[in-house]
Amino acid sequence: MTDRSYRSLLLNLLRQDNLDEATFLRNLDETQRNATGTPQLWSAKAHIAHRAYWTQDFVFNVRAILQGQEPVARSESDDQINARIFERQREQSWAQVQAESQRSYQELVHLIEQLNDEDLMETERFRAISDGYPLYGVILGLCYEHGQEHLAQYYSDHHQLDKAIEIREMCVERILRADPPLPNWLQANFLYNLASFYQEHGLLDYADVLLQRVCLLAPELQERVLRDPHMSKLLERTA
């Protein structure tokens, strides 16, 4: 009998993300692997270290809540943390960063395997890290989509936009084909983020089509579309 639980869906998507990372790493040459990058142009190592850190941070916070504790309050902004992660990876070897990435993935898988669908659909218990969204939605955004965005960002920054588009589109396609089906609001958010990616790279016709789908799926997001400064090029064209 097929397991149609949210837990199974999350594990399958995260497994695919891990395979995507493995493919990404396999396609790098030695120079690309050893590059440390700059704050303006991240290296492959910087992106992998970033992915690993935020996955570990999420696992740590969920575990704290499950144990009846409050997540540790941050004294740094996200930008400050990201800068610290970047500087740290410059001192790490490729093997260290890769090992941390796999460790963070295994820790996330182990955590999700301990949760049931009631936990994953919870909105109040994890409010400190979920802002009132169900936990499964946070996992999909932070641990799946966020990771995919960084693989795509590397390619777009290194003049391989076709590969970046392929990653971003497949990321969303998996969400739209999910079984069990994911709610309209979540599908619309993934489509919206893909539309933003298209807009950023001047693919305005594609962005326009997706924004229409977003407004049909989740009319409550229409105001967000109209106010989003990242959509300014598209809004000016259609005004």
Q: What is the pLDDT of residues 41-87, one digit of tens each?
A: 999 999 999 999 999 999 999 999 999 999 988 889 999 999 999 99
- Contacting residues for 37 by C-beta, under 8 A, at least 6 apart: 43, 45, 46, 86
> Is residue 219 reached through a cis peptide bond, with omega within 30 degrees of 0 on the bond before it?
no
Burial (Cβ within 10 Å: 0-12, 13-18, ≥19) of residue 11: middle
The tens place of each residue's pLDDT in the chain, 239 residues long, gives: 456 799 999 999 999 999 999 999 999 999 999 999 999 999 999 999 999 999 999 999 999 999 999 998 888 999 999 999 999 999 999 999 999 999 999 999 999 999 999 999 999 999 999 999 999 999 999 999 999 999 999 999 999 999 999 999 999 999 999 999 999 999 999 999 999 999 999 999 999 999 989 989 998 887 777 788 767 556 556 55
3-state SS assignment for residue 37: strand
Question: Count of CB atoms within 10 A of residue 30's CB?
Answer: 8
- β-strand partners of 37: 42
Sequential DSSP letters for 39-92: SSSB-HHHHHHHHHHHHHHHHHHHHHHHTT-PPPPPSS-HHHHHHHHHHHHHHS
**What is the reported pLDDT for 226?**
76
Range(s) within the chain of domains with CATH label 1.20.120.450: 6-163
Residue 182, sorted as left (phi over 0), alpha (psi -120 to 50) or beta, turns out to be beta
- Contacting residues for 115 by C-beta, under 8 A, at least 6 apart: 7, 135
* pTM of the predicted protein model: 0.93
CATH architecture designation of domain 6-163: Up-down Bundle (1.20)
